[in-house]
Amino acid sequence: MEYVIAFVVGGLVCVIGQLLLDVGKLTPAHVMSTLVVAGVVLDFIGVYDKFIDFAGAGATVPITSFGHALYHGAISEAEQHGLIGVATGIFEVTSAGISAAIAFGFLASLVFKPKG
């Protein structure tokens, strides 16, 4: 049942993104930014951790989880190092994801001949 819940919740996040694209006439960059900020806001009000407990991968795989990770990194480092910790914490927690995105994007560009 965990797989079904994760699939449905992850799919609903994708549906929200698609509705923002189609109905809201937003660009993909705006949708991505909106979903990242939504993850931060949901974590700030204390809902995202409960969302992860309920949905598992359905909440940790979509882009909203990136906002959740940014917020956690910024807050944990800010508690230890003050204001400068906000900037360093964001990159410390999410550096593996950002590095993987850059590396796999580069590899994909070598294989698929981008047109941009």
pLDDT by residue, tens only, the chain of 116 residues: 889 999 999 999 999 999 999 998 899 999 999 998 998 899 999 998 898 999 888 888 888 888 888 888 888 888 888 777 777 777 777 777 778 888 888 898 888 877 76
**Domain-embedded: residue 54:** yes
**Domain-embedded: residue 52:** yes
**Domain-embedded: residue 103:** yes
Q: Kindly report the backbone phi and psi dihedral angles of residue 49, in degrees, each rounded to the nearest multiple of 5, phi listed first.
A: -65, -40
**Domain-embedded: residue 106:** yes
Q: Is 73 exposed, middle or buried (0-12, 13-18, 19+ CB in 10 A)?
A: buried
Domain of residue 74: give its range.
Answer: 1-111
Q: Which of 99, 32, 100, 89 is nearest to 66 (CA)?
A: 32
**Domain-embedded: residue 5:** yes
**Domain-embedded: residue 116:** no
Rg of the chain on CA atoms, in Å = 16
The number of domains in the chain is: 1
**Cα–Cα distance, 7 to 45 (Å, whole number):** 24
Token reading at 112 = 């698929």
**Domain-embedded: residue 2:** yes
**Domain-embedded: residue 1:** yes
